[in-house]
Amino acid sequence: MEMTSPVGQGGLFLMQAIVGLVIFALMLRFLMRATYADWNNPIVQFIAKVTNPVCAPLNKIIPAKTRWDWSAIISAVIIQAIFVVLVGYFTARDFSVPFIALASMTEIANQLLDMMFWLIIIQAVLSWVSPGYNPNTVIFNQLTQPILDPFRRLIPPISGMDLSPIFAILAIKLFQIVVLGSITQIAQQMIG
């Protein structure tokens, strides 16, 4: 199947969508565990159930005894690496092992940072629209609090306005542009 044909492009799109959804679920699992999200929450239970088949084999090797669910990250990197290999195969390109590893790890880091970015945006909007306790929005507070707390310690509220989300978003995007952008540039030079 040639990737320039509409069928090939459709196949690539479908493959990207499936890999993207799986990696999204794995990154969400990682963040939920890292932030001690309430495991009684239905969203958390759903993510745990759909990612368990992928993470279970690695959990036997690397037990998740701490807040860091390394099986979710390693599974995501492996799936992303397989995707890169498949893209190389279908586009008749021969990617080196260092390129595949670097591209996969960078993409996973980028997706994790993108998820953090959007969680902060959603949490900020929900805090304006639905202030106070709301059981449906608690999960967003749980996921973003550990990210925002260091910024809250540096930048106290001004006239009751919490500006930490703005600075957290700026830090996330700056890291993506400078650090991950530089790594991506190095990886692209490996293609030649």
- The C-alpha atoms of residue 60 and residue 62 are separated, in whole angstroms, by 6
- Confidence band of 192 (pLDDT split at 50, 70, 90): low
> How confident is the model at residue 3, as a pLDDT?
58
- Confidence band of 136 (pLDDT split at 50, 70, 90): low
> How confident is the model at residue 140, as a pLDDT?
87
Q: Does the pLDDT of residue 65 top 80, yes or no? A: no
- The C-alpha atoms of residue 98 and residue 87 are separated, in whole angstroms, by 16
> How confident is the model at residue 109, as a pLDDT?
94
**Average of per-residue pLDDT across 152-176:** 91
Strands (E), the chain: none
Residue 132, phi-psi category: left (phi > 0), alpha (psi -120 to 50), beta (remainder): left
Q: Does the pLDDT of residue 184 top 60, yes or no? A: yes
DSSP label at 91? T
Provide the total of helices (H) and of strands (E) in the chain, helices listed first. 7, 0
Could you tell me which residues come within 8 angstroms of residue 22 by beta carbon, excluding any fewer than 6 positions away?
Answer: 54, 76, 79
CB 185 within 8 A of CB 119: no
CB 68 within 8 A of CB 43: no
Lowest-confidence segment of 29-33, 132-136, 144-148, 164-168 by average pLDDT? 132-136
Q: Does the pLDDT of residue 53 top 70, yes or no? A: yes
Rg of the chain over Cα atoms, rounded to whole angstroms, equals 19
